Structure 1
Amino acid sequence: MQYNNLGRSGLKVSQLSYGAWVTFGTQLDVSNAKSILQCCRDNGVNFFDNAETYASGRAEEIMGQAIRELGWKRSDVVVSTKIFWGGAGPNNSGLSRKHIIEGTKASLKRLDMEYVDLIYCHRPDLETPMEETVRAMNYVIDHGWAFYWGTSEWSAQQITEAWGVARRLDLIGPIVEQPQYNLFHRHKVESDYLPLYNNYGIGLTTWSPLACGVLTGKYNKGDIPPDSRFALEGYKDDAKEALAEDVLNKVNGLKPIADELGVPLSQLALAWCAANPNVSSVITGATKESQIQENMKAVNVIPLLTPPVMEKIEAVVQSKPKGPASYR
């Protein structure tokens, strides 16, 4: 396992990490979670991602209890959570000073931790002034409840605005963005965010590297396995777009490239994400130790992604966004 700086910060995160998005509290209890988390640690993972909204807070409770029962030294791991959707009340969501502070306290209580290493604004809040959000995130850091803050699925303009406020007020700006990124979803990471990497040192912790499992190839026969994500309530509508004929044809086209390298398609897809120099960590998900073991082998595939191999991949997916236009 390699460890990368999180953007321009001194925080080191594993190249592959683990997220509790749709697993903890829905498919995994504390006992299962302990096995999964320990398997991650045994493979060098030090970064674990969560959010107040995952399983309505239960995911944080399970992760916190599992880490406590495993007896890990807190300084050995990087734990993150995200604030935005904390409940149904009018002040229980968004990025107001009230919800950021109350939501952070509630998350720490569920995790049973004094602090998280990293806290994200889970989505942009168009109803709250940016200055209020930036000041509140700095309040969280000043009180030692988090060491760094970041954003998730914000636009480049919104991140730039946050940094403008931070610099004007001599405050700390966001150091990381958490966007979706995979072979079929690339525009933000490879086009919109280009100015952010050099201007603000933004790092990326990306999610859905396997496009909700599509890039494992398990859906290519047109069936939806009962234990897959698209079999879950709330994901069946997403399956229609994700499993379109054009997408599945591209997945089939990637399979020979993976076979030529002697690796599973899933490892090829994970390695492709991790090979992007602006990606600090690729967040993976799994419900079985065997899946963790397979995913972590992707770090050995990264060196195999030579320019000729990358060109073959591009020829199949044809999803590379156009760069900024030059009129010189």
Structure 2
Amino acid sequence: MVDYVFLGRSGLKISNLIYGNWLTHGSQVEESAAFASVKAALDAGITTFDTADVYANGTAELVLGKALRSEPRESLEILTKVYWPTGRRRHNDAGLSRKHIMESIDSSLQRLGTDYVDVYQAHRYDVETPIEETMQAFADVVRAGKALYIGVSEWTAEQIKYAHDFSRELGFQVISNQPQYNMLYRVIEPEVIPMSEKCGVQQIVWSPMAQGVLSGKYKVGKKPPKGSRATDKKGGARTIQRFMSDEILTAVESLKSVADELGISRAQLAIAWTLQNDNVAAAIIGASRPEQVAENAVAADVVIPAELMSRIDEILAGVIIDDPRLTWENAPHERPDITR
């Protein structure tokens, strides 16, 4: 059953499963299926919804806003993000400059059909904008009542420290980081999580199932199932590629014995595993069908015993990615050039 937890060092409670619409709303699924999946999330007790202005170039926000329109706003927590190119994709339509943040929050609110978002997140760190400028802009967004809290996504430990220090000086809170985190991809454990704990920041993690690989749907030597993430030419196939090696798929097959012992699926095991980490407040789940939401919601209160956590590590030994440098290496090292 879905639980409700405080996010970071704040008084905001969110559901420990979050419904996210990256690669689905406005892109991979029809609007009717998106609406049905959002309803399934609400029926499961999920009250927190994550999106971004860049998803389907704003369409994902628009669809989510329409899907939630009949729900009481005070009963929801809506999260969105800013950084990547949006809109007309002109020279100021990306990054974390004051101009882009101020224009983007207004556009996101209009598409979502709300006066405010609960958490406004920096989708990546902008190395070409002074951090002071970015944090001052976020402070003004909060003071204007357009966002209640600020979060970041895929920031390094050092960058999270910057955000924490500047936000305290400016009188607002950075309460969350949104990184990729799952059984196979653990790069935040050595540095990001210890720094986050010091700064009162918690993780709301994306890809808890490693783009679906940890569900066991992909098999060595077999074609990916029709309609799966690995067949999606709009972005899904590219993002899942790192987890599609024979070595990883073989190890994932061995996780079935652990899931069977708990009486759950491998997908539920993967989600429950992320929630075992005390610094993880919530895991983001997506869906192209409403029944997927109901299935994943089972994981919200599964507790994996210590001996099974150790067995998972033994099974996955050799395929776990845990180099903390990857957070920096995989991040953009310059603002996206969208004028070429």
Q: Name the residue aligned to 2:207.
A: 208
Letter in 1 for 2:307: P
Residue 278 in 1 paired to residue 314 in 2?
no
Give the drift of 1:246. Answer: 1.3
Closer/same/farther in 2, CA of residues 36 and 179 from structure 1, 3 Å limit: same
Higher RCO (C-alpha under 8 Å, 6+ residues apart) = 2
Output the TM-score relative to the length of structure 1.
Answer: 0.92
CA distance in 2 between counterparts of 1:322 and 1:127 reads 25
Moved more, 248-257 or 46-55: 248-257
Closer/same/farther in 2, CA of residues 26 and 198 from structure 1, 3 Å limit: closer
**Percent same amino acid among aligned pairs?**
39
What is the CA deviation profile of residues 17-64 of structure 1, one whole-angstrom value per residue up to 9, with x for unaligned ones?
100101000133443222111111111101000100001100111111
Output the TM-score relative to the length of structure 2.
Answer: 0.89
Moved more, 30-39 or 175-184: 30-39
Letter in 2 for 1:208: S
Give the drift of 1:170. Answer: 3.6
Moved more, 142-151 or 86-95: 86-95
Q: Name the residue aligned to 1:42.
A: 43
CA distance in 2 between counterparts of 1:56 and 1:32 reads 19
Give the drift of 1:260. Answer: 1.9
Letter in 2 for 1:60: E
Letter in 2 for 1:49: D
What is the CA deviation profile of residues 237-269 of structure 1, one whole-angstrom value per residue up to 9, with x for unaligned ones?
444432101111210121111112221111111
Give the SS at the match of 1:172.
Answer: coil
CA distance in 2 between counterparts of 1:236 and 1:275 reads 28
Give the aligned length.
317
- The gaps in structure 2 that reach 5 residues or longer are 325-340
CA distance in 2 between counterparts of 1:89 and 1:15 reads 37
Q: Name the residue aligned to 1:14.
A: 15
What is the CA deviation profile of residues 253-289 of structure 1, one whole-angstrom value per residue up to 9, with x for unaligned ones?
2111111222111111110011211111100001111
CA distance in 1 between counterparts of 2:31 and 2:238 reads 30
Q: Name the residue aligned to 1:3.
A: 4
Residue 229 in 1 paired to residue 229 in 2?
yes
**Contact conserved, 1:215 with 1:269, CA < 8 A, in 2?**
yes
CA distance in 2 between counterparts of 1:237 and 1:49 reads 22
Letter in 2 for 1:186: R
Residue 110 in 1 paired to residue 111 in 2?
yes
**Contact conserved, 1:31 with 1:66, CA < 8 A, in 2?**
no
Give the SS at the match of 1:185.
Answer: coil
Counterparts of 1:251-266 in structure 2, within 5 Å, are 251-266=252-267
Give the drift of 1:293. Answer: 1.0
CA distance in 2 between counterparts of 1:171 and 1:260 reads 48
Counterparts of 1:154-303 in structure 2, within 5 Å, are 154-167=155-168, 169-188=169-188, 190-221=189-220, 222-233=222-233, 234-300=235-301, 302-303=302-303
What is the CA deviation profile of residues 124-144 of structure 1, one whole-angstrom value per residue up to 9, with x for unaligned ones?
000000000000001100000
**Contact conserved, 2:149 with 2:175, CA < 8 A, in 1?**
yes
